[in-house]
A and B are shown apart, each in its own frame.
Chain A
Amino acid sequence: MRNLIACEHCDLLMEYPVLNHAQQAHCLRCGNLLMSRPKHSLQLTLSFITASIILFMAANFFPMISAEEAGFKNQMRLLEAAYAFFAYGEWLLGFIVFCVVLLLPFTIMLLIVYLLLPMIFYRRLMPKTNFVARLVFSLQKWSMVDVYLVAMLASITKLTSMVTIELGVGIWAYIAFSLCLSAALANLDKQRFWRYLDKIKCHQILKQQKM
């Protein structure tokens, strides 16, 4: 059972592929990507996540865009994009936007640090690791930070024809944050993560036997 693997999308049973860092394994029948082994992928995830957390703070703290027309001026921070809906009574829409661009990405970042930091540096597992890991993998696709970035660029283009626009520090922080988070999540591979977790479990058992 240990040297077998099944395709997630067509259930084909195959031998567990042995890969070097440049290779990828695809399903023989449906072509689904089974496994890839980029170098230090989990370490990269952790470092990109650390960078994203700092950039996320900056993106929230500094104003992103300000609009000006005939003496009136208005600034926007990241949080205000969701808050504006609340102000108009569209609280459900505000809640959805708040969740997918702020709450979920932030939760995911914290949970990944919670999982990976003790694993990589101390070879230890935090309590509820299994549950948290399953949560991270199922929430991952609901964080729409990259979609929001494209929407932001689209609305800037739209706005320039209406009012005078000034870009703040916040938007550059947000662009960097979005790229870092995407890089982190792209490096977080399910297969690799659970294999690494198995390895640490073995390590712990060996340590206990020595004592």
Chain B
Amino acid sequence: MSSDTKTAKDVALTLCLHCHKLNPVSWSVCSRCGGSIHLRKPKSVQVTLAWLITAIVFYIPANIFPVMTTYAFGRETASSIIGGIFELWEQKSFVIAAIIFVASIIIPILKILLLLWLCLSLKLNLTETLKLRTSLYRLTLWIGRWSMIDVFVVAILVALLQLGGLLSIQPTIGSLAFACVVIATMLAAESFDPRLIWDSLER
């Protein structure tokens, strides 16, 4: 990094995250949009870690408990997230099985691990892989909402398959836990401040 690169912080300016206007550091409200401004997101790492722990706690019931129960011809079957994917795979709908596998297994785990690594690397003051970490952060920010697919699939199946005693589907507690995992990871990603990654260059 060349020595003439300057950050907004170096020249005592704060970027308003609401409207991207630069304001003097001493101001607490943006002169253009009136939103509150901070040099860095307040208590960013702590808040991110808190949401991550919440997500991890919810992740356990989300996988242990079934997401829905199917009553078909008097028979009762409970299906979990992983069970549902296997079922789809056996029915030869490979694309859908792959989409749900990626959205509801890979993305949440990857997101939690990535954000944990980002928080840890700040504590360790790592000065390598700055650009990579920022790109990965952008990925977690963008990809988080797609995990909701599984919850919505349950919603649609429950709404549609109410065919008397023949076939009906009930939601179970697993889907609520999974929705909470997704929301907690989204909030975690949002409270993380990637500028802290680059601040390690100054020290």
Contacts and interface: CB of A to CB of B under 8 A. Distances in A.
Across chains A and B, which 8 residue pairs bring their CB atoms closest together, nearest first?
A151-B152, A72-B163, A6-B8, A84-B159, A194-B19, A11-B7, A6-B15, A10-B198
Contact of B159 (A81, A90, A154): A81
Given A8-B17, A141-B145, A190-B20, A162 B161 contact: yes
Contacts, number: 201
Interface string A174-211: 00000000000000001100100110000000000000
Counting chain B CB atoms within 10 Å of each CB, the highest count among A76, A84, A191, A194 belongs to A84
A11 B198 contact: yes
Contact of A88 (B19, B22, B158, B167): B158
6 contacts: A4-B13, A81-B155, A92-B176, A142-B145, A151-B149, A194-B20
Interface string A1-22: 1001110111111000000000
Given A134-B35, A154-B100, A162-B161, A5 B134 contact: no
Using C-beta atoms within 8 Å of the partner chain, give the interface range for chain B.
Answer: 35 or more
A74 B153 contact: no
Interface stretch (B47-55, B88-96, B108-116, B117-125): B88-96
Using C-beta atoms within 8 Å of the partner chain, give the interface range for chain A.
Answer: 35 or more
A29 B153 contact: no
B151 A10 contact: no
A65 B88 CA distance: 20
Interface stretch (A39-47, A51-59, A94-102, A111-119): A94-102
A110 interface: no
A82 interface: yes
Interface in B188-203: 194-195, 197-199
B135 A93 contact: no
Given A11-B195, A130-B34, A134-B19, 13 more contacts: A30-B135, A72-B167, A74-B161, A81-B155, A81-B159, A90-B175, A93-B175, A93-B179, A134-B33, A157-B96, A158-B91, A158-B93, A159-B157
Given A13-B13, A154-B96, A90 B176 contact: yes
Interface of A: 1, 4-6, 8-13, 29-32, 65-67, 69-70, 72-74, 76, 80-85, 88, 90, 92-93, 96-97, 100-101, 130-131, 133-134, 137-138, 141-142, 144, 147-148, 150-152, 154-155, 157-159, 161-163, 190-191, 194, 197-198
Contact of B33 (A12, A32, A101, A133): A133
Contact of A147 (B35, B149, B179, B183): B149
Given A30-B130, A93-B171, A158 B157 contact: yes
Contact of B156 (A30, A76, A198): A76
Contacts of A93: 151, 155, 171, 175-176, 179
B137 interface: yes
Given A9-B195, A194-B21, A148 B160 contact: no
A8 B7 CA distance: 11
Interface of B: 1, 5-11, 13, 15, 17-22, 32-35, 88, 91, 93, 95-96, 99-100, 130-131, 134-135, 137-138, 145-146, 148-153, 155-164, 166-167, 170-171, 175-176, 179, 183, 186, 194-195, 197-199
Counting chain B CB atoms within 10 Å of each CB, the highest count among A4, A11, A137 belongs to A11
A132 B20 CA distance: 16
B132 to A, nearest CB: 10
Contacts of B1: 29
